[in-house]
Amino acid sequence: MSKLGHLLTAMITPFDADGAVNHQQAKKLAQALLDSGSDGMVVSGTTGESPALSFEEKLRLFAEIKSAVATHGAVVAGTGNCSTKESQQLTKEAEKIGVDACLLVVPYYNRPTQQGLWEHFKAIAQSTTLPCILYNVPSRTVTNIAADTVISLSQIDNIVGIKEASGNLDQIAKIIQGTKDDFLVYSGNDGDTLPILALGGYGVISVASHLVGIQIRDMMEKFVNGKAQEAASIHRHLLPLINSLFVISNPMPVKWALNYLGFPVGKPRLPLVEPDEKVAEVIRTTLKDYKIDLPIVK
């Protein structure tokens, strides 16, 4: 699954002035991300406001992005939700479109047991030939998928990795220790990327790479090539920017930043809103200290 790449951007979903998905701007953004360090993108994940997108909107977005990037970058479709049946249906349709993999979030709201999680993910994986990446983000889903459950699921051929956003490095270390070398453990928090690489992780599914993808790639490459101190220096430099992108819930800050920098992506959909002036000032002040890698295509 190395074709998926080490640096994937958790891509925002652009909207137009009327609140509809802006497919032209989405395609421009996807290409700009590839031009600024990303190996591909996750479409309709948390950062893409997946709970606010309809089934039909997601499918068209997958198709538009895949047509824009073709074979130049991986398109990972966010097809998981809290309904096993709906997740299977969306995954099957995404496979027909030709996406490269799917991202399956831990079901939210209904709070399954570990056995329920195991059966949920197994059922989705068995409904498709796509590579499946699990997504653990208990700050949003309440439920945490335990390391032992992940290790068991990794034995299913097309469950190839996990986006780990628990922030629990002990748990992440146990997953890396207990899975095969080709199981891809991605950092799901930008601030955890270097520590997870140090534990043996594979890469990151990043929000900050909307803005500083080349620098994140440089950090990871330096670490892999034995230049740990240089990698750590880049990591430390990027932390204030990363923190500013999570001062309120993602993706509100990063969408504001893109609009402010001159890459129009529209407002978030309700119930998300634009940052207030106090939060905007934090982001605006922080951005002044950084070189922006994203080509600004209006």
Closest C-alpha to 207, from 138, 155, 137, 145: 137
Alpha carbon separation from 79 to 5, 76, 87, 128 (Å, rounded):
19, 9, 6, 11
Instruction: Check if 290 is active-site.
Output: no
Peptide bond into 253 cis (omega under 30): no
Catalytic, out of 135, 186, 222, 255: 135
How far, in Å, CA of 166 to CA of 184, rounded? 16
Instruction: Check if 163 is active-site.
Output: yes
CB 294 within 8 A of CB 261: yes
Closest C-alpha to 46, from 9, 93, 7, 15: 9
CB 169 within 8 A of CB 195: yes
How far, in Å, CA of 283 to CA of 285, rounded? 6
CB 281 within 8 A of CB 257: no
Closest C-alpha to 172, from 202, 153, 199: 199
Catalytic, out of 28, 66, 163, 255: 163
Alpha carbon separation from 203 to 5, 6, 38, 273 (Å, rounded):
8, 4, 11, 30
What distance lies between CA 249 and its chain's CA centroid? 14
- DSSP-derived 3-state class of residue 85: helix
Residue 184: phi and psi, rounded to 5, are -90, 115
CB 165 within 8 A of CB 142: no
| Catalytic machinery residues | 135, 163
